[in-house]
Chain A
Amino acid sequence: MPALSILIWLPLACGLLGALAARRNERIPGIVALLGCTGALGLAIAYLIQYGPGSSGLKDVTDVVWISELGIHYKLGLSGLNVALVGLTALLFFAAILASNLRSWERPRLFYFHMMLAESAVLGAFLAQDLALFVAFFDLMLIPFYFLIGGWGTGPDRVKATIKLVIYTLVGSLLMLAAAIATGVLAGSQHGQHITFVLSALQGLPLSRGSQEWIFLFFAAAFLVKMPAFPLHGWMPDGYRAMPIEVLMVFSGVLSKVGAYGFLAIVLPLFPQASAHFQTLMLVIALLSILYGSAVAFTQTDARLIAGYSSVAQLGFITFGIFALDPQGAQGALLQMVNHGLVVAPIFFIIALLAARSGGSEDIRDMGGIALRAPVLAVAFLIVALATLAMPGSANFVGEFLILLGVFKAKLALAIIAFAGVVAASVYALRLFIRSMHNRVGSGVRSREMTLTDGAVLVPVLAVIVLLAFYPQGLLKRSEASVGASVSAAHIALTEPPQTLATAEEP
Chain B
Amino acid sequence: MSTTTYGWLVLAFPLLGTIAIGAGFKRLPGRSAGWIGTGTIFLAFLASLGALISLQGHAADHRQLTSSLWSYASTAGIDAQLSILVDPLSVFMILVVTGVSTAIHLYSVSYLDSDRGFVRFFAYLNFFVFSMLLLVLAGNFVLLIVGWAFVTLASYLLISFWYRRTTATAAGIKSFVINVVGDVGLVLGTFFIFKHTDTLDFLKTFSAAPHVFTSGEGDLTAGCILLLVGAFAKSAQIPLHTWLPDAMEGPTPVSALIHAATMVTAGVYLIARMHPLFELAPAAQDTGAVVGALTLLIAATIAVTQTDIKRVIAYSTMSQIGYMIMGVSVGAYAAGLFHLMTHAFFKALLFMAAGSIIGAMAGEQSLDRMKGFRRAMPFTFASFLIGGLALSGIPPFSGFFSKDEILLVTGELGGWHWALYVVGYIGAFLTAIYTFRMIFRAFFGDPVAEARELEAGHLHHAEQPTNPATGEVEDTDVGFPGPAHAIAERALPMRVAMGLLALGAVGAGLIQIPKVDFVIDDFLRPTFAGSALYEPHTRNGLLVFGLILGTLLGLSGIAIAWRVWVARPGIAPALRERFAGAYGLFVNKWYFDELIDALVVRPAAAVGRFASNTFERAFVEGTLVGGTTQIVRAASASVRGAQTGLLRYYAALLVLGVSGLGLYFLLQT
Contact = CB atoms under 8 A, between A and B. Distances in A.
Contact of B176 (A166, A170, A430): A430
B498 to A, nearest CB: 32
Given A299-B611, A299-B612, A234 B188 contact: no
Contacts of B180: 389, 422-423, 426
A426 B176 contact: yes
Interface stretch (A11-19, A21-29, A476-484): A476-484
B650 A170 contact: yes
Interface string B595-636: 000000000110111011100100111001100110011000
B516 interface: no
B77 A473 contact: no
A391 B188 contact: no
Nearest to A371: B163
A393 B607 CA distance: 30
Interface string A420-438: 0011101100110010011
Contacts of A248: none
A404 B149 contact: no
A300 interface: yes
B25 interface: yes
Contacts of A326: 76
B592 to A, nearest CB: 18
A473 B73 contact: yes
Given A234-B621, A295-B608, A386 B153 contact: yes
Interface residues of A, number: 81
Contacts of B669: 185-186, 189
Contacts of A389: 180
A372 B149 contact: no
B535 interface: no
Residue of B166, B172, B612, B643 with most chain A CB atoms under a 10 A cut-off: B612
B646 A392 contact: no
A167 interface: yes
A174 B654 contact: yes
Interface size class on chain B is 35 or more
Interface string A396-410: 011001101100110
B292 to A, nearest CB: 24
A178 interface: yes
Contacts of A438: 160, 163-164, 169
A147 B632 CA distance: 19
A139 interface: yes
Chain B contact residues: helix, strand, loop or mixed? helix
Interface string B36-77: 000000000000000000000000000000000011111111
A397 B160 CA distance: 24
Residue of A168, A389, A405, A416 with most chain B CB atoms under a 10 A cut-off: A405
Interface stretch (B276-284, B349-357, B563-571, B658-666): B658-666
A372 B478 contact: yes
Given A150-B643, A386-B153, A473-B75, A167 B628 contact: yes
B156 to A, nearest CB: 8
A164 B632 CA distance: 10
Interface string A177-207: 1100110011001000000000000000000
Interface of B: 22, 25, 70-78, 80, 120, 142, 145-146, 148-150, 153, 156, 160, 163-164, 166, 169, 172-173, 176-177, 180-181, 183-184, 187-188, 191, 194-195, 472, 475, 477-478, 604-605, 607-609, 611-613, 616, 619-621, 624-625, 628-629, 632-633, 643, 646-647, 650, 653-654, 657-658, 661-662, 665, 669
Given A299-B613, A369-B475, 12 more contacts: A231-B624, A233-B620, A237-B616, A328-B78, A392-B145, A392-B183, A405-B191, A409-B195, A415-B191, A439-B164, A473-B74, A476-B73
20 contacts: A146-B646, A166-B646, A167-B628, A170-B653, A173-B654, A177-B654, A178-B657, A178-B661, A295-B611, A327-B77, A328-B78, A371-B163, A372-B477, A389-B180, A392-B146, A392-B149, A392-B183, A416-B188, A426-B177, A480-B76
